[in-house]
Amino acid sequence: MKLSKEKTKILVTGAGGFIGGHLVNYLLKRGYKNIRAIDIKPLKEWQQVNKKAENLVLDLRNLNNCHKVSKNINEIYNLASDMGGMGFIESNKALCMLNVLINTNMLLAAKKAKVDRYFFSSSACIYPLGKQQSSEIDGLTENDAYPANPEDGYGWEKLFSERMCRHFMEDFGLETRVARFHNVYGPFSEYQGGREKAPAALIRKTIEAKIFGNHQIEIWGDGKQSRTFMYIDDCVKGIDLIMHSAIKEPINLGTNQLVTINQLVSLIEKIAGVTLKRKYKLDAPKGVRGRSSDNTLIKKYLNWEPSIPLEEGLKINYEWIEKKMTEKC
């Protein structure tokens, strides 16, 4: 029998992070009352803390901790991961691979606790490098994942963890759901310190250029690499829809609004009301040449896809980062 939102007990791992914090708030607004939020970071370092949730600081690389937090839980959203933008991923491959401990332990704990559903946050980094060599790329379909050749470190860990979810469902009857995130951005994301992703990093650099009157911006690569970017509100709604759907295979969760990094900078310049001289750092980490989400499958299953325009989401993100940076000045 399906439980009501008031009675459903939810666990969100990685709740002190960007997406996890937004997901906790989203679920509470949707009417869920019993949410346990977990992160390894001290509470004061969480991106968001919602006092209506049970907030715990624990290391989920420890199996006993996973069993402890999964007891009497109905649904698990596993978003815990030691990761960041391309600069972090390319420089910390071993740390990214060690994330496999979290998902392995959480799957074992979910199985023992007999949870109803288990969500795993995968990534578009699982897609083969050879299919992402052009800026004018067609959308990557879910079937493109194999034969496998994902990004080293982070991509391999995510792909392996996807298979773990599949086999726990096949062998043990644990209902798992997997979404492949495509470049999520929005307020409360990291925008400095080395873990930030492209939108937040470029917004920060633009604001710095305005503050200090140095009207130039450093761009990693030649600016012609292309991506799609999904606003956080679309992401958390998609997680909810996928979790409570009949979709048993990994599925893309991203927009299909493809832009180059140069075009992304131009959009940010328009919001900021500035024009910046572009300096290209060609030896910097830049990832694949092009990556886009094919949304055929998610539209087929859900009659929905992420659709918040990049221009709209960037404006909100810009205003949030500008406020945070101004407060520090």
User: Known catalytic residues?
Assistant: 154
Give the C-alpha distances (Å, rounded to integers) separating 6 from 24, 33, 34, 131.
15, 5, 7, 45
Between CA 69 and CA 53 the distance in angstroms is: 13
Is 227:198 a contact under the CB 8 Å cutoff?
Answer: yes
Of the candidates 143, 152, 153, the one whose C-alpha atom is nearest the C-alpha of residue 180 is 143
Q: Which residue has the tokens 């002190």?
A: 16
Q: Which residue has the tokens 């709740």?
A: 15
